[in-house]
Amino acid sequence: MIEKNPNFLIILSAPSGGGKSTILAEVLKAADNIDYSVSYTTRPPRGTEQNGVAYHFVDEREFLRRREEGDFLETAQVFGRWYGTSKSFIRGRLAARRHVIMDIDVQGAAQIHTTDIPHVKIFIIPPSMEILRERLMKRATDSPQEIEKRLTIARKELEYIPNYDYLVVNNELSQAVREVLAIVQAEENRVGRYRDPIKGFLKQENQ
């Protein structure tokens, strides 16, 4: 039997409004071997966001206690709030032979890059800054001032693109989703993920 070590983290980063959450939801619907990493954050819930589903919403004291205790694989401050990925959740899902997809910022992705956890980093951008602005306005979750702040930060985040493995332009949604799924498929077949494939292949013959 040819065996694989097939499981890895799928890191999605994008400027705010780039389409991470939308693409992620579609990828989760389409794939049956991927779980979503629910992050911890100190920001308050928005709209209908449920605790434990969108995020684990905690206060700063609890976040910093967990950070101190080494609960997080990575942490970062984004827009003045803390965000962090649960180490135990990630370990548990990978051990259960599942991929874990996560929506994290460029600082968090850089921290995961320094670990030995297998991962693939995908950056998502809309076709242009103008379209990004339009989408943020249409989403209507942020004030005009907040949108301008996010666009300024977006310019800085773009500088991190060379640190990523793949770039997906989120023009037409279904195409962007297909591209992310294709990346995951191709990554599963990396030669390095197989455990001695030649031995596995020849085993039947030698038995």
Contact residues for ligand 5GP (CB under 6 A)? 16, 20, 39, 43, 74, 76, 78, 83-85, 103-105, 107-108
Strands 72-78 and 194-195: unpaired
Distance of alpha carbon 146 from alpha carbon 140, whole angstroms:
11
158 binds, among ligand 5GP, ligand ADP, none (CB under 5 to 8 A by kind): none
Regarding 14 and contact with ligand ADP (CB under 6 A), the answer is yes
Give the residue carrying structure tokens 């910093």.
64
Measured from the CB of residue 187, what is the shortest distance to ligand ADP in angstroms?
A: 21
**193: buried, middle or exposed (CB in 10 Å: 19+, 13-18, 0-12)?**
middle
104 binds, among ligand 5GP, ligand ADP, none (CB under 5 to 8 A by kind): ligand 5GP
Instruction: Report how far apart, in Å, the C-alpha atoms of 59 and of each of 41, 44, 82, 107, 152 are.
Output: 8, 9, 9, 21, 27
Closer residue to ligand ADP (CB): 17 or 84 = 17
Measured from the CB of residue 36, what is the shortest distance to ligand 5GP in angstroms?
A: 11
Interface stretch with ligand ADP, choices 19-27, 80-88, 179-187, 192-200 (CB under 6 A) = 19-27
Residue nearest ligand 5GP, CB atom distance? 108
Distance of alpha carbon 206 from alpha carbon 155, whole angstroms:
58
Distance of alpha carbon 102 from alpha carbon 84, whole angstroms:
11
42 binds, among ligand 5GP, ligand ADP, none (CB under 5 to 8 A by kind): none
Residues counted in the chain: 207
- Site of interaction with ligand ADP (CB under 6 A): 14, 16-22, 135, 138-139, 170, 172-173, 176
